[in-house]
Structures are given as structure tokens and as C-alpha cells.
Amino acid sequence: MKKIILLIFVATLTSCGSAEEKKKGFEYNRTQSEKTKAVTSNNTTPIDLSNKGIGPISSLKFNESIDNELAAKGAATFKQKCTACHKPNKKLIGPAMKGIYERRAPEWVMNIMLNPTEMLKKDVTAMALLKEYNNIQMINQNLTKEEARSIAEYFRTL
């Protein structure tokens, strides 16, 4: 009888493994599937510099030189209102801001900051970004035009 109980005990240990081994296996498998998903899915929103977006900004021309005072105000506002979802140099919940004007028109950038709700419903690029970022909507931060313009200037410094 002792031999049978010992055999059952040994068989249970070898077939189940320890709780720590199970946890490691689970974490490893989950990580692997996430990597595969990221590599195999084609989540790139096309570059469109002609789309100006939907909102109050129809034209925006930057000065040749960066207005450092305005950019500093924009950096402070960005840090306060935007960094929960955006980082300057890497994707987070939303896209990275570095090089934004290589992908989007300045008017579009201003309009998404000022009018995200309508743009996410009607603008082709904004809808593609919404899909790319798992349907996580950009929250309207109720920025003034001046705040949005300062953030736009800050993006030029990245």
C-alpha cells in the first residue's frame, strides 16, 4: 500500500510540476504570443501630409526657427496633460510624438488635440490610428488653441 501511495505521489509531482514552474510556463507562453501578435500584425497607419483633419485649424505655418519660449510652455502642458498616453520617443497608449510632422500635417496635429472626439469618428487617419491602438480613444483635454499651438511647437523640438 505504501508503494502505491508513493508511486501516486511521485507521478503527481512529475506530471504537474511545481506552482512556480507553471507560472513561468504561463508567463513565457503569454509573452511569446504577444510578441508574435506584434510581429505578424500590420498596424501601420499610412503617412498623409495632405490631410488637415476636422476642426478649427485650417492653416498653420511654422516659423523657420523654433520659438523656444512657446515650446517650453508646450513641454509643460504636454507633461501635464498628455504623458499618460504619449511619450516623446516611444509608443505607449498612443503614438510617439517624435517626428510627428513627418507623418501628419501641422493642422491635423492641432485639430486632433482640439477636436479628438469628432476626428475619431470622421477622419480617416484618426480612425486608422484608433484601430491601430486597440480602439483606445484619445480623451478631449479641452485645450485652448494657444495650449495646442504651444504643444505643436514643442513637438518641433523632439
Segment 52-84, tens digit of pLDDT: 999 999 999 999 999 999 999 999 999 999 988
What's the total number of domains in the chain?
A: 2
CA–CA separation, 133 vs 93, rounded Å?
7
CA–CA separation, 52 vs 149, rounded Å?
15
Across the strands, what pairs with 48?
Answer: 104
pTM of the predicted model as reported, rounded to 2 decimal places: 0.69
- Based on the domain organization, do 78 and 139 belong to the same domain? yes
Q: Is residue 46 part of a domain?
A: no
Question: What domain range includes position 26?
Answer: 2-40
- Based on the domain organization, do 28 and 105 belong to the same domain? no
- Among 123, 135, 134, which Cα is nearest to 41's? 134
Name the percent of the chain lying above pLDDT 70: 72
For the chain, what's the residue count? 158
- Based on the domain organization, do 32 and 99 belong to the same domain? no
Per-residue pLDDT of 11-34, as tens digits, reads 554 444 444 444 444 443 434 333
Phi-psi region of 145 (alpha: psi -120 to 50; beta: other; left: phi over 0): alpha
- Based on the domain organization, do 36 and 73 belong to the same domain? no
